[in-house]
Structure 1
């Protein structure tokens, strides 16, 4: 969706801009790819206010984004398929790639979006061409690359809560064979929209920095090398949560009937938690959080990649090497109360090394082919400490040291076997080894506790386990062009995601895992079209997913409630998706997208002491998602300026954040709207825009933490309220 959104002056005819991508690791138009794909150019992303990866979900029907901790560590779910795991040691089901380098852990996905050439969102299993575990889909960010031409651009934003954001990038030729591009971003916020009543402080300060240098070397016509060096830092306030109690203060009934009915704020009858605390002021942005362990999230990252291209006789050899280091220190007052019931202190240290080699055919063959090899080695060291003083009189900690080595061979072929017909097929052979060493323990700092009657620290689990997974995945597709403007296609594919381990506290060996791989059989039929002299793009697809042994958290009621990350059973997803972009005149562009689906657990493997979730809706999988955009351009607004107005609206139906489908852990359907009014100089060098995001100030839950409704309170994190601001851009 959003192909050809007007950003600067319109072209002379009312036609849509063709967007060229590398989704299948060769250059081609989005309209020639036999799969559902959403694409944003860099200018479109800036005009639509895409600042972080999670912003894509507002504008991409079928893509859902929530957070695992506060407003950090995003979890993506594509067409109902995702891993709803808030620990840091497991790989996501929706793969995120930056310049062809896979991002294997969710804490690493908080990075800012800046100086982007385009963003590609591929829906459905992508195991043939893309790295690891992409059963749900892939999100690919492509940075702007250096050119010989001198180029400079800068953007300055000022908005609500004293937020200043500056982005600048530029480059050009250093020598006849060497080009450079330097880009950087800083975001500083000195206030916030949240309020801590206990400390009488505004919450929401941000200090984010990111920088990137790309060197492009062309010593000969047949060889190219690109070196990408990047680094980032984030020192920001941890987001506050809204506390939701679970006991009726009058009758003592647990769970509280008002909470079970989904009532919140002053409507839920002042339901309290175990300590008797209630937060019922009906203000989702105010809390009483004690900040016992601090109130900041600190991320540090740096790394680099090297991409080599050799033009050989009848083929191109491509090498992609990537290395990244990432550390995170995070505190989360998970109980959202002035007491210490469930508070988390996390630290992660991550090292990732990747290598991919691929040989890509040129145009001399009469058909397209690609073969490749992929290797990755990632290590994560994670320590998660949870203070449960006022519930159990203790502090527990789990330490994980995990290394994963993955190898794959892959191939893909597209054969035009008749004048208007072509057949596509791909295969991937994967072997993955994962070793995890873990210690789960009760620190027992106060002597005996409810959890541990012995005096002093007590180790629940020490485990050193290695798992090996081998798999063959692939796809096959058929396309037909009844004419030059329409393509029909049908595809079948199989996705694979390897097994793993639970990363959070465990009290016995059963709870630590491991869990087994999951597999997804996906079937899709659709069409893509460019009609009315290329002024109308209309694409649609129907899909069916058979998701087997899907990985999810399952609740077990023991002496205390615990969740186990395991293979929960089988699920099905049935859906329909459509995108339309229409440019009826040179000055007007309209677009809309819809995703309707039914994601249901058809067979649930309930654990002893846990509930049966057969028939429940999948987590983070709303039945309907709608997005719409309109942009009108005023080319003769004044002698010096052109002008435009742009509006977007998005809708998401009711969503459950966990597979238990409890009303307290859900969000009803809601609309969001953004508005932007801009002015551009006639030469296109300067433009300024006044914008409002979440125009109607909708309060909506962006993330919810649910354990049970017996001991731990529920805690919700709300998305940003309305913000307004101004952006000034300069291009040279």
Structure 2
């Protein structure tokens, strides 16, 4: 079983039973492109039948492009930006320029990520190995009537391979490259009689360090990851199936590869006190493969999922689906200082980033339940669903930061002030949603649906600064413990009615045009409480819900069986857009509501079977994303220094300016040549070009925190056995070693901005750091299959 049967239109137009989404080595020497089957609307349809922009990526495509990590999806799909560490630390996911990152647990993800229909509670848990995946579908724009959890900018739906009773199959794979890269993957299916089957998979990934630490003398960037999945199928008849799944992921990442590009006034002043002969702190070229932390964090993350998918065909027209999920994510980053004294000596060339310590402990546990009742006939398809979710998050972070230097006969003493961030969130949500497709005629289909959502948040969130005055992480937190107990609970509800309305018209059996509207909703939330002037916690007002509207027109066509082409023109508006800004007084990010944001753009993708051997495919997006009204944006670092901000509010007006983390132009163009030897062995060669436009890292559009545009070129060559039992591939990514930046952040080394303003002095300057993108990598992939695995 699977999703409801192929629709009558699909059955009339094609006789296929499975999808080949993008080219694979086995594709060679065919005369026609095959149809693409997706389940974006919870039913099996060709991609042409879906009146929305959908990027579909098959298991074959993942293999051929050597896409093994979640972050790589953003490099093969235009209009999608995915960045973050191997463990998801600092993860950023944006579709059409809209999204958020993992440093603001108060905010719900704008992009929803689903594994076998189960919504992930944290975006970090998506940053795992793409092992034993059947397909990935990226739906662009708000999604309110198809998924249990509503999302405001798009969804990434991953479907894993399901067990079956047909026979034994499996695979063994190794992927080896420079920088000490070693990846191992195994998987297989085992029938247990006619009604039971079990499928399992396991992976292990490791890579050596990529940068040298000039402060500690160690190396950073090394990672070690393990994970696996077990799925048990119970299928007593063709009308009923249940799959119980368990998966786990463990990762350890050593150090951080970001390097300082400028130091702020606080660090510069302290360094001069510590080392007057070398008072000017030098900075590091981000492409020199060195870094300057004296407290590089070691990060450990553990993820567990248990989920149950039940599908019951009640009769030829009605079916019932249940999706039950439980997940737990535990994360700890230990950033305590590793050097004995914590500061450089007089003959050190580079300045250290040594002046804070932290331990970040985070635990997220979530339970979700979704029920869908579906109806399917020749001219009508409908589903009604209910969803319940309960998520609890605990984030405990003691930290300390240098505030001065006290001279002693034995040497300077760094004076630190300690702090504590204590966040406890409970998020409960319920929703009822309905999605309908009415086949008005052989040419016209109407899609419409509604959703009601309610989200309740009960949070205890506080951040205390200035415990000490001389403190470090080895000191007891007696004052902070009592203060944390006094943090008030913040409890609020947000609800909204959203929906969709679309029309899909078939000009011919192979060419359709569509137009539609979607509305999405992202609930409001609470920021952290701070210690007020009277010693009592002060809690800011809740930030508001975000409402997204998407208007889209597009076309999808198959021309002569050798050319597939689709395109879309969209216009999206966001009211009370939730913006993450850096907390200038503490750690983490805080949330502001921009009055509105406006996004419009065009997207297109194609596949062209130029000859029986040559396949050319590609995609392109242009996205113009601006703040329509954002009068209270934070100021730039330089504006603080020049006192160019509003003297009362300390803000600037960014209305009409660009959104951050959006590359206006993104494009991919690929070509694959496939042929075979006389003995049936297939060989193929593939070239890929990916272009990404410039972008700003921060909402204040700081020109120092900006990534230039770049172009990546990849190449692969491989051979496959005639019976596809084995495969060897040589691959290279970023083969010309293009230098580009993937992330930028503030140093938080400017001292207290509020204090400087209070005494009437100039506002201090703040430094910043950047992280380079992946350098040139190359390697070999070996794979053995049996039983068609």
Give yes or no for TM over 0.5. yes
Which residue of structure 2 aligns with residue 374 of structure 1? 387
> Which protein is bigger by CA-based radius of gyration?
2
- Could you say which residue in structure 2 is the equivalent of 1:286? 290
1:361 to 375, 379, 382: 375
- For residues 653-691 of structure 1, the C-alpha deviation after alignment (integer angstroms, 9 at most, x for no partner) is 110111111111110111111111111122211110111
Instruction: Quickly say closer, same or farther: Cα 1:157–1:13, change in 2 above 3 A.
Output: closer
Residue 673 of structure 2 is aligned with which of 617, 623, 632?
A: 632
**What is the distance in 2 between the residues matched to 1:48 and 1:332?**
36
SS at match of 2:490: strand
Q: Distance in 2 between matches of 1:109 and 1:354?
A: 17
The DSSP-based 3-state class of the residue aligned with 1:393 is strand
Question: Which residue number in structure 2 is paired with residue 600 of structure 1?
Answer: 626
Distance of 2:195 and 2:531 partners within structure 1? 57
Cα offset, 1:506, TM superposition: 7.4
| Distance of 2:387 and 2:682 partners within structure 1 | 49
Asked if 1:498 corresponds to 2:523, the answer is yes
The structure 1 residue matched to 2:181, chosen from 145, 148, 163, is 163
What is the alpha-carbon root mean square deviation over aligned residues?
2.9
Secondary structure of 1:140's aligned partner: strand
- My pick for the range that moved more, 320-329 or 6-15, is 6-15
Q: Distance in 1 between matches of 2:780 and 2:291?
A: 30
Change in 2 beyond 3 A, CA 1:390/1:552: same
Alpha carbons of 1:557 and 1:683: their partners in 2 closer, same or farther (altered >3 Å)?
A: closer
Mapped partners of 2:123, 2:666: distance in 1: 24
Match of 1:674 in 2: 714
- Counterpart of 1:685? 725
Partner of 1:303: 305
Number of aligned residues:
699
Per-residue CA shift, 1:439-488, capped at 9, x if unaligned? 31136244499xxxxx9659598231011001101010011101011010
Kept after mapping to 2: 8 A contact 1:72/1:107: yes
Aligned to 1:326: 329
Aligned residue among 191, 197, 203 for 1:185: 203
Give the corresponding residue for 1:349: 363
- Distance in 1 between residues matched to 2:45 and 2:479, nearest whole Å: 64
Q: Secondary structure at the match of 2:724?
A: coil
1:180-579 equivalent positions in 2, closer than 5 A: 180-189=198-207, 191-246=208-263, 276-281=280-285, 283-291=287-295, 295-313=297-315, 314-331=317-334, 338-363=352-377, 366-390=379-403, 393-442=416-465, 444-447=467-470, 459=483, 462-502=487-527, 512-531=540-559, 533-554=560-581, 564-579=590-605
Deviation (angstroms), 1:220: 2.3
SS of corresponding position for 2:98: coil
Residue 242 of structure 1 contacts residue 285 of structure 1 at CA under 8 Å; is this kept in 2? no
The answer on whether the counterparts of 1:117 and 1:143 sit within 8 Å (CA) in structure 2 is yes
| From 692, 702, 722, the counterpart of 2:776 | 722
Deviation track 1:523-548 (CA, whole Å, cap 9, x = no partner) reads 000000010x2110110000001111
Q: Which residue of 2 aligns with 1:31?
A: 48
Once residues 345 and 515 of structure 1 are traced to their aligned partners in structure 2, the CA distance between those partners, rounded to angstroms, is 28
| Structure 2 residue runs without a partner (length 5+) | 1-18, 270-275, 343-349, 405-414, 473-477, 634-648, 751-763
Higher mean C-alpha displacement, 233-242 vs 111-120: 233-242
In the TM superposition, what whole-angstrom CA distance separates every residue of 1:212-249 from its partner, at most 9, and x where no partner exists? 11111111232111111111111221332110215699
CA deviations over 1:37-74 (Å, ceiling 9, x no partner): 00111121122122222211111111112338996242
How far apart, CA to CA, are the structure 2 residues paired with 1:496 and 1:74?
A: 22
**SS of structure 2 residue aligned to 1:147:** coil
Give the conservation status (yes or no) of the 8 Å contact 2:286–2:770: no
Unaligned runs of 5+ in 1: 254-271, 450-454
- Structure 1 window deviating more from structure 2 (6-15 vs 668-677): it is 6-15
For 1:264, the equivalent position in structure 2 comes to none
Aligned with 1:690: secondary structure? strand
CA separation in 2, counterparts of 1:466 and 1:523?
A: 34
Contact persistence 2:28–2:674 (CA under 8 A): no
Structure 1 residues 539 and 32: CA distance shift in structure 2, 3 A: same
Structure 2 CA distance for partners of 1:513 and 1:633, relative to 1, 3 Å: farther
**CA distance in 2: counterparts of 1:88 and 1:172, whole angstroms:** 41
Asked whether the equivalents of residues 339 and 390 of structure 1 are also in contact (C-alpha less than 8 Å), the reply is: no
Secondary structure (helix, strand or coil) at the match of 2:72 reads: helix
C-alpha spacing 1:135/1:77, structure 2 compared with 1 (3 Å): same
d(CA) in 2 for partners of 1:282 and 1:79? Answer: 28
- Pick aligned residue for 2:142 from 109, 125, 136: 125
Aligned-partner SS, 1:58: helix
User: SS at the partner of 2:74?
Assistant: helix
Deviation at 1:402, TM superposition (A): 0.6
CA shift in 2, pair 1:170/1:85, >3 Å: closer
Within 2, Cα distance between the matches of 1:150 and 1:650?
Answer: 39
Does the 8 Å contact 1:34/1:479 carry over to 2?
A: yes
- The 1:677–1:475 alpha-carbon spacing in structure 2 relative to 1, beyond 3 Å, is same
Alpha-carbon spacing, 1:492–1:675, altered in 2? closer, same or farther (3 Å): same
